[in-house]
């Protein structure tokens, strides 16, 4: 099984050969963020969940930047952020629908025998590992609150 780092390296080689500067720049930035995160945590490699969390953070940063650049009339910078966002989203799993997320929440709550809001943290932790990258924290939190009443 190839690692995510291997996949990114291979994608970088492909972008270099294709002379796709925008994609190559985004992949280099992505690889740099991974190395930075691994250095900070002292881990030799990020787990799948950590990688998905990093991608979600980077996606949110790009979304915020796009909104700010468009508000400031800088369409050129917004276009660059959109190109980076496209590359980041290619590594994220398909987003769960609200119904799919609700089903995963219900299933996980049943597995862990959680019926009380007091144990929301334990349920959230388990969900983060299960749906890594397929839903952001706010959507998961909303779905858990709805399920626990």
CATH number at residue 65: 1.10.1510.10
Residue 134 pLDDT class (50, 70, 90 cuts): confident
Q: Do 20 and 56 fall into the same domain?
A: yes
Q: Do 84 and 12 fall into the same domain?
A: yes
Summarised one tens digit per residue, pLDDT across range 112-121 is 888 888 888 8
Q: Across all residues in the chain, what is the average pLDDT?
A: 86
DSSP state of 47: -
Q: Which of 40, 69, 41, 51 is nearest to 5 (CA)?
A: 51
- Angle of the 98-111 helix axis to the 137-148 helix axis, nearest 10: 60
Q: Once rounded to an integer, what is the mean pLDDT over residues 17-36?
A: 90
Cα 57 to Cα 32: distance, rounded to the nearest angstrom = 14
Q: Do 103 and 78 fall into the same domain?
A: no
Number of domains in the chain: 2
% residues pLDDT > 90 (the chain): 24
Strand, helix or coil for residue 118? helix
Q: What residue numbers bound the domain in which 121 lies?
A: 98-148
At 127, which CATH number? 1.10.10.410
Q: Do 51 and 81 fall into the same domain?
A: yes
Summarised one tens digit per residue, pLDDT across range 56-86 is 889 889 999 999 999 999 999 999 899 989 9
């Amino acid at each position: 099984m190839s690692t995510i780092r291997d996949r990114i390296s291979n994608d970088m080689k492909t972008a270099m050969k294709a002379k796709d500067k925008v994609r190559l720049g985004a992949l280099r930035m992505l690889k740099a963020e991974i190395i930075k995160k691994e250095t900070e945590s002292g881990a030799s490699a990020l787990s799948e969940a950590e990688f998905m969390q990093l991608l979600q953070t980077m996606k949110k940063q790009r979304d915020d930047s796009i909104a700010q650049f468009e508000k400031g009339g800088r369409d050129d910078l917004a276009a660059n952020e959109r190109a980076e966002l496209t590359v980041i989203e290619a590594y994220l799993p398909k987003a769960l629908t609200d119904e799919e997320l609700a089903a995963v929440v219900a299933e996980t709550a049943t597995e862990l025998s959680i019926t009380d809001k007091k144990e929301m943290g334990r349920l959230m932790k388990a969900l983060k590992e299960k749906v890594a990258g397929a839903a952001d924290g706010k959507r998961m939190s909303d779905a858990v609150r709805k399920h626990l009443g």
